[in-house]
């Protein structure tokens, strides 16, 4: 199989973890006889500094013409701390999603047995947690009409029936492949947009009689994820709620550096770690590359290359079991490994398997 991959390293620790993801993908392609080519493109603060646009037209064209995008992270404190900034790195991420039609964000939340002790939750609560958050990605407040002056501001949380139906279809597809349990998260007791979500979900549920569909207010869902994360199988929700809940879910595993994601829709799919750019760690060789590497596994699995994805997951688990870990998840007294060393260990595992 031939792969054309657009690589967007971005900001902060992005270039460091991006290299590990590319190296792993190259090693897997060599092992399984695939051809892979990479095209690098600017995004985020790096793109603003160089061309004044967080998602330049050239970057869009490279992404559009690729089979998949391997994305890392965007964000920089000089924009975070300036409320008057007209252009921000995160606008590049939103532009990429909108221009590529990436309306479905798929975020698996799973635990690793050897890292249960790193979770902020008690072991008996978190052990066995394994669910998927499906977040609508191109609607809601992030893209609705906005206004701001010195005394008033608003964001419009608008959704249409087609937008809701298409993301619910994705959610039901995943639920059918897993344990046939779908939780629709909304705030239908307060928000009109949520009432439309619930109405459409109730209309669609009879089309999937094998799936147990339940409904949960977002505040209750946030509590339930802490009290009983094993309750969930597939969760689907709108853009803003999804952003918050998926970040909450990400820490269940013990580190944000462990979980990948995929954004899919009308055009080229994007695969990325769920964490941010962590600018304070830039160049220190301490960032965990596993989320980026597992994003490569999701990329292969998206193209039905199941053995390739399985090998990457095996290599990641083997590195954890061997205590080849970055500092935030390393056990006391074990060896010291950085971003580069963890990536190299996993590449060597793949080559020698």
Range of the domain at 5: 1-102+266-353
Q: Tell me, what CATH number does 203's domain have?
A: 3.40.718.10
Instruction: Report how far Cα 125 is from the mean position of its chain's Cα atoms.
Output: 23
Provide the domain count of the chain: 2
User: Do 97 and 121 fall within a single domain?
Assistant: no
Residue 219 annotated as catalytic: yes
Question: Catalytic: which of 65, 82, 214, 219?
Answer: 219
Which of 208, 239, 261 is the C-terminal boundary of a domain? 261
Residue 151 annotated as catalytic: no
Could you tell me which residues come within 8 angstroms of residue 72 by beta carbon, excluding any fewer than 6 positions away? 8, 9, 10, 13, 14, 15, 17, 18, 21, 272, 273, 277, 292
Question: Catalytic: which of 4, 243, 282, 302?
Answer: 243
Number of other CB atoms surrounding residue 98 within 10 Å: 17
Question: Catalytic: which of 172, 187, 208, 349?
Answer: 187
User: Do 183 and 299 fall within a single domain?
Assistant: no
Nearest to 305 by CA among 69, 33, 40: 33
Digitized pLDDT (tens) for each residue of the chain, 353 residues in all: 899 999 999 999 999 999 999 999 999 999 999 999 999 999 999 999 999 999 999 999 999 999 999 999 999 888 877 667 778 888 888 899 989 999 999 999 988 888 888 888 888 899 889 999 999 999 999 889 999 988 999 999 999 999 999 999 999 999 999 999 999 999 999 999 999 999 999 999 999 999 999 999 999 999 999 999 999 999 999 999 999 998 898 888 877 788 999 999 989 999 999 888 999 999 999 999 999 999 999 999 999 999 999 999 999 999 999 999 999 888 888 889 999 999 999 999 999 98
User: Do 107 and 207 fall within a single domain?
Assistant: yes
User: Do 17 and 111 fall within a single domain?
Assistant: no
At residue 119, the pLDDT reads 86
Residue 247 annotated as catalytic: yes
Question: Catalytic: which of 67, 247, 302, 340?
Answer: 247
Nearest to 140 by CA among 162, 160, 170: 160
Nearest to 157 by CA among 245, 241, 244, 266: 241
**How far apart are the C-alpha atoms of 74 and 339, rounded to whole Å?**
18
Residue 351 annotated as catalytic: no
Which of 242, 261, 280 is the C-terminal boundary of a domain? 261
Residue 243 annotated as catalytic: yes
**How far apart are the C-alpha atoms of 264 and 259, rounded to whole Å?**
17
At residue 77, the pLDDT reads 87
């Amino acid at each position: 199989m031939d792969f054309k991959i657009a690589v967007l390293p971005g900001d902060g620790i992005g270039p460091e973890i991006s290299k590990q993801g590319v190296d792993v993908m190259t090693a897997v392609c060599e092992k399984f006889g695939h051809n892979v080519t990479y095209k690098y493109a600017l995004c985020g603060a790096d793109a603003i500094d160089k061309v004044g646009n967080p998602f330049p037209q050239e970057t869009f064209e490279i992404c559009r013409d690729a089979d998949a995008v391997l994305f890392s992270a965007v964000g920089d404190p000089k924009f975070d701390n300036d409320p008057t900034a007209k252009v921000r790195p995160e606008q590049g991420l939103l532009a990429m999603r909108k221009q590529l039609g990436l309306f479905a964000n798929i975020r698996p939340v799973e635990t690793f047995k050897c890292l249960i002790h790193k979770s902020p939750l008690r072991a008996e609560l978190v052990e066995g947690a394994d669910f998927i958050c499906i977040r609508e990605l191109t609607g809601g407040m992030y893209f609705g009409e906005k206004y701001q002056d010195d005394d008033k501001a608003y964001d419009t949380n608008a959704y249409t029936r087609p937008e809701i139906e298409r993301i619910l279809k994705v959610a039901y597809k995943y639920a059918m492949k897993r344990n046939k349990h779908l939780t629709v998260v909304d705030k239908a007791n307060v928000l009109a947009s949520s009432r439309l979500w619930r109405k459409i979900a109730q209309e669609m549920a009879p089309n999937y009689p094998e799936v147990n569909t339940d409904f949960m207010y977002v505040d209750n869902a946030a509590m339930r994820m802490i009290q009983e994360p094993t309750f969930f199988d597939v969760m689907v929700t709108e853009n803003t709620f999804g952003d918050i809940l998926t970040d909450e879910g990400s820490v269940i595993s013990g580190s944000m550096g462990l979980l990948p994601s995929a954004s899919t829709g009308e055009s080229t799919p994007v695969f990325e770690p769920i964490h941010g750019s962590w600018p304070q760690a830039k160049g220190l060789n301490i960032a965990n590359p596993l989320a980026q590497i597992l994003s490569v596994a999701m990329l292969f699995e998206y193209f039905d290359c199941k053995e390739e994805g399985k090998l990457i997951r095996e290599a990641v688990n083997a590195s954890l079991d061997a205590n080849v870990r970055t500092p935030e998840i390393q056990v006391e007294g074990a060896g010291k490994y950085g971003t580069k060393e963890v990536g190299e260990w996993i590449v060597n595992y793949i080559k020698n398997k």
